[in-house]
A = this chain, B = another copy of it.
Amino acid sequence: MDTRAISPEPSPWLPFESRRRARDEKREAVLRTAVQLFLEQGYHRATLNDVADRLNITKPALYNYFRSKEDILYECWAMGQERVEDRIAEIESTNENGLATLRMLVRAYAVVMASDFGASLVRFNVADLSEANQKTTLAGKRRIDRAFRGAIEQGIADHSIKPCDVKLTAFAILGALNWIGHWYKPGGELSPDQIADDFAIRLTADIAKPPDRKPPERKPSEKKTSRSVRRK
């Protein structure tokens, strides 16, 4: 008995930690397959049988990981939301000015949007979720809105962003970003990083106060003269 304890036979079961990890990996594999199918065929057309088939398992085996199809849909959303929130937390901890923060948010959100889990934030219908889950997604959406509005407000306060209608500006920026989830196809002309870099500048161009465009230092009187001359 003691010998067995000291030098144990190899167990056919994995140690607990590895088992937990394997389980998490399998769970995520189910979500990755499910989100692909939901995006390809629409949530209502895609069946759990299709998901199971692609994974070489049976439909009942899916219920080891998820309670229902709706549960899977919600978890796909949660994967995308978690990625966005992780990036927001990271970015907000950098203490850059408002414009730089906003550009980092645009960049990060664009990259997530170009992924399947990211697209699930905008391509599925929240009405297909349970009421409790609908509330959670709504709260998640608000946190994203708040991060973007916060950066814009901060930018106006620290003069890196021109005064503007904060809500409408955030809607315009988030709209352009969310649309990526609809049009982006992997393997297209532009990589997610290229789109992200472009959008970070493009979507903030009209509200950014360009630091290098500052007129050269002049006395106010001179400025007035040159302007009135130009008008004539």
Chain A residues within CB distance 8 Å of chain B:
41-45, 123, 125-128, 165, 167-169, 171-180, 182-183, 189-190, 195, 198-199, 202-203, 205-206, 216, 230
Excluding A168-B190, A175-B175, 11 further A-B contacts by CB distance (< 8 Å) are A41-B127, A44-B44, A167-B189, A171-B176, A171-B180, A172-B202, A173-B176, A175-B176, A178-B179, A178-B182, A205-B205
A168 to B195 alpha-carbon distance, docked (Å): 8
Q: Could you write out 23 A-B pairs with CB less than 8 Å apart? A: A42-B125, A42-B126, A44-B44, A44-B127, A44-B128, A45-B127, A45-B128, A125-B125, A165-B198, A168-B190, A171-B176, A171-B180, A172-B176, A172-B179, A173-B176, A175-B179, A175-B180, A175-B182, A176-B176, A178-B179, A179-B179, A205-B205, A216-B230
- The 3 tightest CB contacts between A and B, nearest first, are A42-B127, A175-B179, A205-B206
Nearest-Cβ distance from residue A109 to partner chain B, whole angstroms: 12
Nearest-Cβ distance from residue A3 to partner chain B, whole angstroms: 62
Nearest-Cβ distance from residue A116 to partner chain B, whole angstroms: 15
Q: Chain A interface mostly helix, strand, loop or mixed?
A: helix
Contacts of A128 in B (CB 8 A): 42, 44-45
Contacts of A169 in B (CB 8 A): 202
A62 to B173 alpha-carbon distance, docked (Å): 41
Please indicate which of the listed interface residues A123, A167, A176, A189 has the most CB atoms of chain B within 10 Å of its own CB.
A176
Closest chain B residue, CB of each to CB of A205: B206
